[in-house]
Structure 1
Amino acid sequence: MNLIATIEIKPLPAPITHQHSVLLIGSCFTEHIGNNLSDLKFKVLQNPNGILFEPISVCRNLVSYIQDKEYTSDDLFHYNELWQSWSHHSQFSQPDQKQALERINNSQHTAHQFLKKADWLIITLGSSFVYKLVDNGRFVANCHKAPGQWFDKYLIPIDEQVAELDNTIHQLFHFNPKLKIIFTISPVRHLRDGVVENNRSKARLLETVHHLVNKFDRLFYFPAYELVIDVLRDYRFYDIDLAHPNYAATQFVMEKFSDYAFTEPTKQLIKEIRQLVTARNHKPFHPTSQLHKQFLQKHYELAKRLQEQHSHLDLAAELEYFRL
């Protein structure tokens, strides 16, 4: 008897390898995928503007990377003693305006250069709700805890999402002809919007993404949302807020992503890299003991062998850590 539903996930026709560069953008679930890939020594850049939840912000920031937009003081506002940007996460906010712009523009330039050569773009959409400034109608990517009366909340219609993403995808393919795109929908439940409203929001994202995937042959869909909502389908797999998938759920999704995106040789390499990463995180009780020196020597030899066999890997930190 089957106690959980199953989803058939067809593997990517052209798998991701360690020789590829991957840009990730979108909701907080993007960072679960990005951190995992980064730990496993894939070449990644994630969320150059910080976390973005909805399609309008994702699209407009991707276009800003294509254009290598230079932000100026006119793009910032001063609130709560910080210079902030409506297009960026609060991690870019600074008491000094010059420092805020420097951080923002350094990130912009890095994103422009990375996107120009990237092999893959992973977009994780979290919500169809957007916020617009009341005084000028501008869409904002982050409200920065400003007063609620500053904003109008808006549920983006499907046709508006499709139009915005379609235009952005054409610009991306013109900018980087080799780029391929994977869409995912975040399984994080936006319960503050309300359960019914969250479901309407996710439904619009799903319809939008599948419309585009069916249109472009370089677009793909990975069902992270369905794996948590329909396969696991249990509050045991959520944190105490009942909104965010917990460690067990995210690991389950990443195991499925591995089957979806990687070949068997890549998965074998990942297994050896994970061994190194785990060993490096090990905290010895007796670092001067002979046993620990043998431990370091063993993993230094593994890191050295992998570096020689896979010159595109960056294992410099591991080699330095394990070197006696």
Structure 2
Amino acid sequence: MKFRFEFTIKKLPEPITHRHKLLLIGSCFTENIGEKLDNFKFTTLQNPNGILFNPVSVAEALTAYIEAKQTEEKDLFFYNEAWHSWKHHSRFSGLTADEALQEINNSTAVAHKFLKEADYLFVTLGSAWIYTLTEKATNAKVGAIAANNHKAPADWFQRKLLTTEDVLRVLDNLIHRLFLFNAKLKIIFTISPVRHLRDGVVENNRSKAVLISAVHHLVNKFDRLYYFPAYELVIDDLRDYRFYAEDLVHPNYFATQYVWEKLVDACMDGKTKELMEDIHAVTLAFKHKAFNPHSAQHKKFLQTNYEKVVRLQQEQPYLNFAKELNYFEGK
């Protein structure tokens, strides 16, 4: 008997390698995948504005990177004894305006340079629901879209569901600008499998339907776009609450790991997978806690792994094994 529906995933035409630069932007699921890429020594930049859920906020952030836009104090607002940006996650908030601006503008400058050189852009869209600012919101343009609510009062926002046409209009223009800014850039779209149940069950499904419809329209239109079915893997393949965290909203470790393995299989070639296995072995050794750090056995363990990492570093000079080399060398 079959208890799951497994399906074939289209391969990425040009596989990702460790020589590529990968910029990831979007929902919290972006950071789950980004963390795994980092662990395997890929060159990444994750969410330079912090977590973003809706396509308009993603487009505004990427546009700011293209333009190297500088945020000013007039763009911030003061609430709950801290300074915030409506365009950024609360991790960019500061106790002073200067502190917040330094974090925001440094991140934008890094993102501008990285995006110009990036080979792949991962965009994970979470929700088509947007929250526009009302006249009650502090220091805000009425009708502007908040990327993060910063736990502000509910009457500071008005909720609206984007249409497929709205999403297409925003992303189509963005994609043209991205390709003008970086002629080699390729874009991988995913829809987050995180369920936005606070919007409502029916409302969450309407939202995901809008995003899926818009993204597939764009993938069919542009040559350098690819769709990876993270959403479908969790919703239609795993399809069980066993694969969700206790909140029944976020995919758990097993689901995220399953999606990661499918991503590796679809987007990376054999040589890259072999290198990932070597890196994984080094990482395990690096995390190993010795029972007796002064024993001859442990010293031999350190020497063996030091030689392994030196050899890997010579073969792959673009990878950074500095902390592992220091550890195995006993520094």
Partner of 1:289: 295
- How far off its partner does 1:96 sit? 1.2
Paired residues in the alignment total: 324
The match for 1:277 is: 283
The within-5 A match list for 1:1-324 is 1-135=1-135, 136-324=142-330
1:262-300 Cα shifts (integer Å, max 9, x gaps): 101100000010111122122222222222212211211
Opposite residue 314 of structure 2, the aligned amino acid is E
Q: Distance in 2 between matches of 1:110 and 1:220?
A: 25
* 1:50-84 Cα distance to aligned partner (Å, 9 max, x none): 00001000000000000000010011000000010
Segments of 4+ in structure 1 off by > 3 A? none
* C-alpha deviation, 1:107, in angstroms: 0.2
1:2 deviation in Å?
2.3
TM-score, L = length of structure 2: 0.97
* Letter of the structure 1 residue corresponding to residue 229 of structure 2: P
The answer to which of 312-321 and 61-70 deviates more is 312-321
Tell me how far 1:97 sits from its aligned partner.
1.0
Looking at structure 2, the residues matched to 71 and 7 of structure 1 have their Cα atoms a distance apart, in angstroms, of: 45
More deviation, 294-303/268-277 = 294-303
CA distance in 1 between partners of 2:214 and 2:325 (Å): 45
Normalised TM-score (structure 1): 0.99
* Equivalence for 2:138: none
Query: What is the CA distance between 1:87 and its match in structure 2?
Result: 0.4
Gaps of 5+ in 1: none
Distance 1:235 1:56 in 2: 30
Q: Write the letter of the residue equivalent to 2:320.
A: D
Structure 2: runs of 5+ lacking an equivalent:
136-141
1: CA distance, partners of 2:296 / 2:197: 54
CA distance in 1, matches of 2:289, 2:162: 49
- Using the TM superposition, give the Cα deviation of residue 169 of structure 1 relative to its aligned residue in structure 2, in angstroms: 0.4
